[in-house]
Amino acid sequence: MIGYVTIGTNDLEKAAPFYDTIAKLMDTPRMMEDENFIAWGTMEGGAGIGLTKPFNGEPATVGNGVMVALLARDPDHVNEIYNAAIAAGGTDEGAPGLRGGGFYAGYFRDLDGNKLNAFCMGVEG
């Protein structure tokens, strides 16, 4: 159902390497970019993610209750994405672990404070 998600940033040059790191671990290249916007994804793939300076010129702000969930292959991949996000300057919002019902996830925030997680389903616990 979801085609892509766009996240705001106040410093595209600073924020882009954070998302490049995560996208590389997910085998997802940059597919579009200009001086105000970068999108990672593939034309035939699942949902992509965009990083943009707000088009209205106002500062980017974090949505309270908004989170982007990144589908990982397995728990090791969740751990790898989470650890890379933290190493790239992200902040911890909940270390990787089983959350119940076979849901395994690690939560973090990007350099602008946007909340993300890496997750996978079907994990025995």
CATH number at residue 96: 3.10.180.10
Find, among 8, 114, 18, the residue nearest to 66 by Cα: 114
CA distances from 124 to 41, 46, 52, 76, 118 (A): 30, 25, 38, 14, 17
pLDDT at 19: 98
Whether 1 has a pLDDT exceeding 90, the answer reads no
**Are 114 and 68 spatial neighbours (Cβ–Cβ below 8 Å)?**
yes
Each residue's pLDDT tens digit, 59-111 = 999 998 999 999 999 999 999 999 999 999 999 999 999 999 999 999 999 99
Distance from the Cα of residue 1 to its chain's centroid: 18
Mean pLDDT of the chain: 95
Find, among 11, 9, 71, the residue nearest to 41 by Cα: 71
**What's the pTM value of the predicted model, to 2 decimals?**
0.93
pLDDT at 46: 86
Total domains present in the chain: 1
**Distance between the two ends of the chain, CA-based, in angstroms?**
29
99: in domain: yes
125: in domain: no
101: in domain: yes
Distance CA 11, CA 53 (A): 7
> What range does the domain containing 107 cover?
4-54+62-120
100: in domain: yes
pLDDT at 57: 94
76: in domain: yes
29: in domain: yes
45: in domain: yes
